[in-house]
Structure 1
Amino acid sequence: MTKTPTAAAYLTELAERTARLMELNGDAIAAAADAVERTARADGLVYIFGTGHSHTMAEEAHYRAGGLALTVPILSTPLMVHEGAVASTAFERMPGMVAPVLRRYPIGPSDVLIIVSNSGVNAATVEAAEAGKAKGATVIAITSQDYSRQAARGRTRVADVADIVLDNGAPPGDAIMSVPGSQLRVGPISTSIGAALMNAVFAEAAVRLQSSGAAAPIYLSANMPGAAEVNEGLVARYRPRNPHL
């Protein structure tokens, strides 16, 4: 018998949920890859926004080995957890909070805006999705359909606004493992599955681009042969439009 039965059960269920992502999201993944491919061919950008822990998805894609250099994280300290987690929870629910943040990022019709929100109902993420639509960008949501339906209580959801919805399949509350003797649950999955969905889309778009003869803007890991030259070229190309490079 394993000495870590809960850990083993969590990893098994996480793997099983990940394996079902194509069944749950096949058409949406294809549509999202189409959108990213179109944006790359138009020399557009893929902006990524989330609040709280979801903001880590924007950093996951940023300057990432094996990732696309056309990604731009939308980052605002008050909406992140590292300098005030309690305050960030209040700010992400505050109407009007995201508008001044987005002014730093000239999102346009040639771009994609990925909104990551597990609950899918907080004001900042919904308003960001609405702003992206108003600017003509293709808006992709990574969210939990079940959780957002339960949490909405009549409110607009990110899934209602987005052009394409990638469902992470997370249950309400995110955590999947029960704690014996209590009503508590542990083992959240939205970040792991969200990252898998996002990277699946980027991988599909990148291979399509490269296969068609269009050079996909892919970063190399810094310790790989030729990485310095490749990455320096990509940084020079995107730095004027990515304030975080």
Structure 2
Amino acid sequence: MTKTPHAAAYLADLTARTGRLIEENAASIAAAADAVERTAKADGLVYIFGTGHSHTMAEEAHYRAGGLALTVPILSSTTMVHEGAVAGTVFERMSGIIAPIFERYPMGPNDVLIVVSNSGVNTATVEAAQLGKAKGATVIAITSEEYSRQAANGRTRLADVADIVLDNGGPPGDATMQVPGSELRVGPISTSIGAALMNAVFVEAAVRLQSGGINAPIYLSANMPGAKEVNAALIAKYRPRNPHL
């Protein structure tokens, strides 16, 4: 018998949830891959934004070995956790903070905006999606449909605004495992599932591009043969439009 039964149960639950993603999101994954493929062919960019812990999805895709170089993280310490998590929780619920953040990123009709929010109701993420649509970008949401329906209380949800919705299938509150003898739950899954969904879309789009005779802009790990030359060419192409390179 395992000495870590609760850890094993959490990993088994996470594995099962990951395994269901394709059947539960098949049409949305296909539509999202279509959008990323179109953007790549149009020499556009895929912007990624989230607040709180969801901002890590933007960093997950940024300058990532095996990832797409056309991804651009939208990063502002105001809405992140490393310079004041408590304040960031307040800011992400305030109206009007997104427009000045997005001024740094010249988004347009050839681009995709991925907005990540597990609860799907915070003001900043909803306004981000609305702003992306106003600029003509295709907006993809990564969210929990169940959580956002419960949390909405009449408010507009991210899922209501986005063109394409990828549902992480997470429970309200994110944590999946009951702590015996208490009302507490532990074991969030939104980051792991969100990263899997996002990378599944990128994999599909990259293979389609390469199969169609277009070199997919994929970064190589710095320790792989030829990485220096491949990555230098991609950086030269995207650095003028990606302020974080």
Same fold per superposition (TM over 0.5)? yes
> Is 2:129 aligned against 1:126?
no
Q: Hey, what does 1:76 align to over in structure 2?
A: 76
Q: Hey, what does 1:192 align to over in structure 2?
A: 192
Q: Hey, what does 2:17 align to over in structure 1?
A: 17
After TM superposition, give the deviation of residue 69 of structure 1 in Å.
Answer: 0.1
Q: 2: CA distance between counterparts of 1:68 and 1:216?
A: 8
Letter in 2 for 1:89: T
Letter in 2 for 1:57: M
Q: 2: CA distance between counterparts of 1:122 and 1:96?
A: 12
Letter in 2 for 1:87: A
After TM superposition, give the deviation of residue 176 of structure 1 in Å.
Answer: 0.3
Q: Hey, what does 2:33 align to over in structure 1?
A: 33
Q: Hey, what does 1:183 align to over in structure 2?
A: 183
After TM superposition, give the deviation of residue 181 of structure 1 in Å.
Answer: 1.2
After TM superposition, give the deviation of residue 18 of structure 1 in Å.
Answer: 0.2
Q: 2: CA distance between counterparts of 1:108 and 1:20?
A: 33
| 1:59-208 map, 5 Å | 59-208=59-208
SS in structure 1 opposite 2:139?
Answer: strand
Q: Hey, what does 2:8 align to over in structure 1?
A: 8
Q: 2: CA distance between counterparts of 1:87 and 1:117?
A: 17
Give CA deviations for 1:166-192 in whole Å, capped at 9, x if unaligned.
000000000000001111100000000
TM-score with structure 2 length normalisation? 1.00
Letter in 2 for 1:80: M
Q: Would you identify which runs of 4 or more consecutive aligned residues in structure 1 move more than 3 Å?
A: none
Q: 2: CA distance between counterparts of 1:151 and 1:226?
A: 48
Give CA deviations for 1:92-121 in whole Å, capped at 9, x if unaligned.
000001110000001100000000000000
Q: 2: CA distance between counterparts of 1:181 and 1:8?
A: 19
Q: Hey, what does 1:222 align to over in structure 2?
A: 222
Aligned length: 245
Q: 2: CA distance between counterparts of 1:180 and 1:8?
A: 15
Q: 2: CA distance between counterparts of 1:95 and 1:183?
A: 33
TM-score with structure 1 length normalisation? 1.00
Letter in 1 for 2:155: R
SS in structure 1 opposite 2:166?
Answer: strand
SS in structure 2 opposite 1:106?
Answer: coil
Give CA deviations for 1:137-170 in whole Å, capped at 9, x if unaligned.
0000000000000000000000000000000000
